[in-house]
Chains A and B, each alone.
Chain A
Amino acid sequence: MTRLLDLGIDRIQNIIMDMAKLSEKSVTTAIESYEKGTSTKKVIFEWSEQLRVLQDEVGDLAIELIARYQPVATDLRFIRSCMEIAYGFSRFGRYAYDIVDVLETMGSITNCDKSAVLEMSCTVREMIRISVQALQSKDKNAAEKLYQMDDTVDALYRKYLREAITPYEKTDKRSFDPRCYISALLILRYLERISDHACYIGDSVHYIVTGTSSPRR
């Protein structure tokens, strides 16, 4: 016989997977906009709003399940973690919107060197994929891999930041267009934050499976 609680847990799980897909699509679309110069601000705004609404829905449902069924053990850990995971996916959507907002604000950046952002975005998109996969397969070890990738992302961000603040020399071949640096720095920062949230999702999966939480780095 199906427990009444399971109906609610299934519903939360469905919403979380919807959020996973939508947030992944939002970040991918935002990066493509940066790469190709296309305008997607309106649609990503809508997706970001949808993610926010879904996050609220997860929170409301979680509270209802706790109040009505007093879940314990794995059920309780899952419900608690879903609230955090939903927040993570909602942040993915928000950062995707922030990325396209930068593009709108800066105007044309067609001639900028985009390699740093594209390099980091590859890693971050892979991290999103791994975090979603970890959630689906309840992979408690994914967090470790995500943190290793996060170290790479952090290193890339710091490297670019150092480069951006290094004074120009006469022989410097770097672009003098401030829009290139500012846009890249802002987007790298948003990607770096997405990377953090992917790690937190890995942490949540670890907590759901093992019941122990490791201190956040």
Chain B
Amino acid sequence: MSWMSSEEYANTTSYKLSLLSDTKRRGYKVSVKNLNSWFGSKQALKDINFDVKENTVTALIGPSGCGKTTLIRCLNRMNEMTSSATVKGSVYLDDIDIYASNVDPVIIKRRMGMVFQKPNPFPTMSIYDNVAAGLKLNGIRNKALIREIVEESLKGAVLWDEVKDELGKPGLSLSGGQQQRLCIARALAMQPEVLLMDEPTSALDPIASAKIEELMNELRKELTVIIVTHNMQQAARVSDYTAFMYLGELVEYGPTKQIFENPQKELTERYISGKFG
């Protein structure tokens, strides 16, 4: 290493990298370290470790009860809403351990939005208010700004063209697929960095599902997407990385191409090939 002044050294890449957290330095948006979870005495997640790269789509697959939903809910501390749930281990969002005592879970949920299996627009609210609700709850009062964000969010969810002339209609007046995109728009309005999707198309018909899948592909340019899906073909279509879970363990995690063409674990091969049980 050559001799250099402090000022020169401060401008070097190695110094700048040394300031970053381990997660960020390695180019990961989310890092899960030794994550364990219980519901009462029943262990739902066992020593989960994996890293999620920024601007990718990661699919969590596995049979029912394997812990996919528990895992995705642990990623933004939503599991804490279940009274019997406990968690041990760490989840890093960039350089923040979201389970650290000084971290506000509300901020984590804002940075890591969630879309659920069944579209759940606020039933008494209009399309516009559904998207604006989160902003207002977070104290934004500037109507012009809210209008701008609502429009951007609906555009981001590829719903704007379909609803722009009827923003005052109830959210529930939309079709199932549109309602799900409305929920995505609602999540996008908070400008999350990570979007967690728990079986977002399982209640939708194939056309609506295809739109959500296309949307995921677009969203990946702006944020990081983690999706739980029972549909393996969907995982193969939309994701860059796939994690296969079984009985609370992460059996195999890797590039989707590898998982579906040449899985390294016999259990993964059997599950994705439909040879299970």
Interface set of A (CB-CB < 8 Å, partner B): 3, 5, 70-77, 210-212
In chain B, positions 208-253 with a C-beta closer than 8 Å to chain A are 232-233, 236
Partner of A70, one of B233, B262, B268, B275: B233
* Residue B273 CB within 8 A of the other chain: yes
Residues in A neighbouring B232, C-beta threshold 8 A: 70, 72
B261 at the interface (CB under 8 A from A): yes
Residue pair B274, A73 in contact (C-beta under 8 Å): no
Kindly state the separation between the CA atoms of A178 and B260 in the bound complex, as whole angstroms.
Answer: 56
- Report B241 CB to chain A, min CB distance, Å: 16
> Are B273 and A75 in contact (CB-based, < 8 A)?
yes
Interface: B125 (CB within 8 A): no
Interchain CA distance A77-B263 in the complex, whole Å:
11
| B199 interface residue per 8 A CB criterion | no
Looking at the assembled complex, report how far the CB atom of B246 sits from the nearest CB atom of chain A, in whole angstroms: 16
Residues from chain B with a CB closer than 8 A to the CB of A72 are: 232, 236, 260-261, 272-273
Q: Which of A3, A76, A210, A212 contacts B260 (CB 8 A)?
A: A76
| Given A3-B274, A3-B275, A212-B262: A73 and B269 interface contact (C-beta under 8 Å) | yes
- A158 CA to B273 CA in the complex, in Å? 47
Q: A3-B274, A3-B275, A5-B274 are in contact. Are A73 and B263 (CB under 8 A)?
A: yes
Shortest distance between the CB of A92 and any CB in chain B (Å): 28
Residues of A within 8 Å of B262, CB to CB, are 73, 77, 210-212
Q: Assess the B233–A73 pair: CB atoms within 8 A.
A: no
* Closest chain A residue, CB of each to CB of B270: A73
Bound form: Cα–Cα A156–B106 in Å? 76
7 pairs across A/B with beta carbons < 8 Å?
Answer: A70-B233, A72-B260, A72-B261, A73-B268, A74-B273, A76-B260, A212-B262
Give complex CA distance A212, B262 in Å.
8
